[in-house]
Amino acid sequence: MDNLCKLGFLTTEILLEGRNIHEAYGRTKTGIVLSNANASLDADIAYFETVKNIPSPAQFVYTLPNIVIGEISIRHGFKGENAFFVSEEFDAGLLEFYVSDLFKRKSIDCCIAGWVDFLGESYRAVLYLVENRSAARSLPWTTEHINKIYELANGKING
């Protein structure tokens, strides 16, 4: 598993700890929508190094950023809608729009969404679970709240 996948995989494990969302929503109604700034560049660089001798199929498979979604889906058996977006900066509006649209279309009832980025020594992961129903201690799924979560996770604002 490449570094991006490890980061997304472990962050998802923490996010879902103690929750059995596939029982609450079903495997086909749980989606994953992620984004980052560097796509799979960390894995691309590692793969490029193998091309100098014998290309490694084991590294080649990780040269697409959406593979992190595949690793998470395999681990948890999720089969719902998924997407991976690449943008220069975190785009809460895009995530809010896309996940809300999946809810409106009744494609999913629950979604793991957020930012997972890894390049060299720099990495950042901010994931959240979005449910299409109100829950205790939950925040509304709005661009404003998504930005606050991201900023808090990155130390940009004080609680």
**Is the distance from CB of 67 to CB of 6 less than 8 angstroms?**
no
Confidence of residue 157 (pLDDT cuts 50, 70, 90): low
Query: Biggest alpha carbon distance in the chain?
Result: 55
How many Cβ atoms from other residues are within 10 Å of residue 159's Cβ?
Answer: 4
Measured over the CA atoms of residue 19, residue 20, residue 24 and residue 26, the dihedral's sign is positive
**Is the distance from CB of 64 to CB of 2 less than 8 angstroms?**
no
Q: Is residue 81 in a domain?
A: yes
Record the pTM.
Answer: 0.93
Cα–Cα distance for residue pair 109/70, rounded to 1 Å: 19
Across the range 60-71, mean pLDDT stands at: 95
Can you give the residue range of the structural domain that contains 53? 3-153
Across the range 69-75, mean pLDDT stands at: 97
Q: Is residue 159 in a domain?
A: no
Q: Is residue 61 in a domain?
A: yes
Q: Is residue 158 in a domain?
A: no
Task: Please calculate the CA angle 134-137-142 and round it to the nearest 5 degrees.
Answer: 60
Q: Name the domain count of the chain.
A: 1
- What value does the mean pLDDT of the chain take? 93
**Is the distance from CB of 62 to CB of 141 less than 8 angstroms?**
no
**Is the distance from CB of 45 to CB of 96 less than 8 angstroms?**
no
Q: Is residue 7 in a domain?
A: yes
Across the chain, where does the E strand assignment appear? 30-36, 82-86, 110-119, 122-131
Q: Is residue 26 in a domain?
A: yes
pLDDT per residue as tens digits for the range 40-53? 999 999 999 888 88
Q: Is residue 133 in a domain?
A: yes
CATH number of the domain encompassing residue 45: 3.40.47.10
Across the range 125-148, mean pLDDT stands at: 90
Q: Is residue 148 in a domain?
A: yes
